[in-house]
């Protein structure tokens, strides 16, 4: 079994996408390969087929490797609830909530578990591609590190350090990182990668030679800056604020926004612009407003209220189309209660009142993979031909601690028919009588063709545009993963990476 670890000079340098590329390259070369990130901090999470929660970055890496995502690929997930607190997910299940210092003090408790899980993975795969987090040169965290050099030491993995040249200062970042390593850590580093390069690489080459002389580590390649229709690296998302296509979808950028990958399938549509709104001045006149998921729903609702966006959304909702997902669904309701202080110490607040539902946050988190179907035609268009009952198939996953109660003026939006492989009949979401305001707990609601195509074609008709068929998001993702592998293969010395791992191509 072989292994390689990609660390970076800091956050958002492209570690996740490089690991994704290597997973696809090794798979193309005939190896069984698996991604691994011992600890991830992200509000972008995913539910596996067995109902466990993991970081989204490792989900994309799993797909690149040709695997179904599994929680062992990301054993520890930290989900911030405030600047100093987070929820800790261990092996896919809630472990508890803690402050940053409390978690720092407990990290060593997980070392044996991480070592055992990694060793089990080694028995099942030819190659494991590991990912670090943030910077490995945080010397104040070295004694309790379980994600960068600490993890590499636990499993004796060789390391490649990636630097982002697009930010500037990449040579100083790489040299400074090496400077702060211990001698043992320096010996573990077998190469560097310059990422996100724009321009003529010949101009860069003298600097690469000088850097190699300084740090005594070879550069394995220079990866150009590129744009592909793939999920953004955790923490490196560019929240577009401009209308760039005929269909204008405005997403309310909540302070604790989570699972913004729910929007990726919409971004893949050529005539769709997805932009993020933080204040009333940015709202404009969108064709659809989406209120996304949140890790702290009540506090985010309060911020929307204080910013004036609540009133703007209320006014827009009289004629416009509004969809809330998970926390956004709860925000659209009449009341939110948090009696156990699951998310905040604010135990009760009024919602926007656009859907006749009330939410109570329970202590147990619901994490399920689901299949569902629409209960009735959504009625968001006035053509007589559209009033026939049409069932739309949807799939996705639930991650929430809130339970919603329906009022007289709310009807369920979907009927869940399958939860984690078990046949059920459970109502989900809500739609108002007018049919222009909807909410659902289902993350990934736009990934399936039916719902995405239905909503977008209604907007196209209203704008006098030609309706069109939507492509499956999975087929697009596979094509983009192959493009990613081609780009990285052409610009890295893959033979050198095989040599570092002790393998022959």
Q: Which residues are catalytically annotated?
A: 326, 443
d(CA 18, CA 485): 9
Residue 239's CB is within 10 A of a number of other CB atoms, namely: 14
Whether 373 and 394 have beta carbons less than 8 Å apart is answered as: yes
Torsion, Cα 283 444 397 39, to 10 degrees, reads -80
Instruction: Return the residue matching tokens 């560019």.
Output: 238
Pairing verdict, β 322-325 and 437-440:
parallel
Whether 335 and 341 have beta carbons less than 8 Å apart is answered as: no
Residue (of 148, 128, 129) closest to 138 by Cα position: 148
Is residue 41 helix, strand or coil? Answer: strand
Distances (CA, A) of 168 to 55, 232, 265: 28, 20, 32
Residues in the chain: 505
Residue 196 Ramachandran class (φ > 0 left, ψ -120 to 50 alpha, else beta): left
Torsion, Cα 339 344 345 349, to 10 degrees, reads -70
Six-digit token string for 141: 């965290």
Q: What is the Cα gyration radius of the chain?
A: 24
């Amino acid at each position: 079994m072989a292994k390689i670890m990609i660390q970076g000079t800091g956050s958002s340098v492209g570690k996740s996408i490089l690991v994704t590329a290597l997973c696809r390259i090794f798979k193309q070369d005939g190896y069984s390969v698996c991604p691994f990130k011992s600890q991830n901090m992200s509000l972008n999470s995913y539910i596996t087929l067995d109902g466990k929660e993991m970081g989204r970055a490792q989900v994309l890496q799993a797909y690149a490797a040709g695997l179904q995502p599994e929680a062992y690929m990301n054993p520890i997930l930290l989900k911030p609830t405030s600047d100093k607190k987070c929820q800790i997910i261990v092996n896919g299940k809630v472990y508890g909530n803690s402050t940053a210092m409390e978690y720092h003090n407990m990290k060593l408790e997980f070392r044996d578990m991480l070592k055992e899980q990694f060793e089990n993975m080694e028995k099942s795969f030819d190659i494991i591609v590991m990912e670090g987090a943030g910077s490995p040169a945080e010397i104040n965290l070295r004694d309790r590190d379980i994600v960068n050099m600490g993890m590499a030491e636990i499993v004796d993995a060789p390391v490649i350090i990636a630097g982002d040249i697009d930010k500037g200062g990449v040579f100083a970042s790489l040299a400074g990182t090496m400077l702060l390593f211990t001698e043992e850590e320096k010996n573990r580093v077998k190469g560097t990668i310059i990422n996100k390069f724009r321009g003529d690489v010949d101009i860069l080459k003298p600097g690469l030679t000088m850097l190699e002389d300084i740090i005594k580590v070879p550069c394995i390649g220079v990866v150009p800056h590129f744009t592909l229709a793939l999920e953004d690296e955790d923490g490196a998302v560019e929240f577009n604020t401009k209308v760039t296509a005929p269909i204008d979808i405005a997403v309310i950028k909540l302070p604790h926004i989570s699972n913004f990958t729910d929007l990726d399938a919409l971004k893949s549509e050529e005539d769709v612009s997805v932009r993020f709104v933080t204040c009333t001045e940015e709202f404009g006149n969108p064709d659809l407003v989406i209120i996304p998921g949140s890790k702290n729903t009540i506090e985010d609702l309060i911020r929307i209220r204080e910013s004036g966006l609540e009133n703007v959304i209320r006014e827009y909702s009289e004629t416009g189309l509004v969809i809330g997902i998970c926390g956004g669904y709860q925000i659209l309701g009449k009341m939110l209660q948090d009696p156990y202080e699951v998310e905040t110490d604010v135990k009760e607040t009024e919602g926007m009142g656009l859907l006749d539902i009330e939410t109570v946050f329970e202590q147990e988190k619901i994490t399920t993979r689901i299949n569902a179907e629409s209960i009735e035609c959504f009625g968001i268009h006035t053509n007589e031909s559209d009033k026939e009952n049409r069932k739309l198939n949807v799939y996705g996953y639930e991650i929430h601690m809130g339970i919603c109660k329906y009022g007289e003026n709310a009807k369920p939006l979907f009927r869940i028919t399958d939860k984690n492989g078990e046949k059920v009949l459970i109502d989900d979401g809500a739609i108002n009588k007018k049919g222009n305001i909807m909410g659902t707990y289902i993350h990934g609601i736009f990934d399936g063709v039916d719902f995405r195509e239905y909503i977008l074609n209604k907007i196209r008709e209203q704008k006098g545009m030609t309706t069109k068929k939507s492509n499956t998001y999975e087929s697009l993702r596979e094509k983009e993963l192959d493009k990613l592998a081609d780009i990285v293969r052409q610009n890295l010395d893959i033979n050198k990476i095989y040599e570092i791992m002790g393998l022959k191509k």
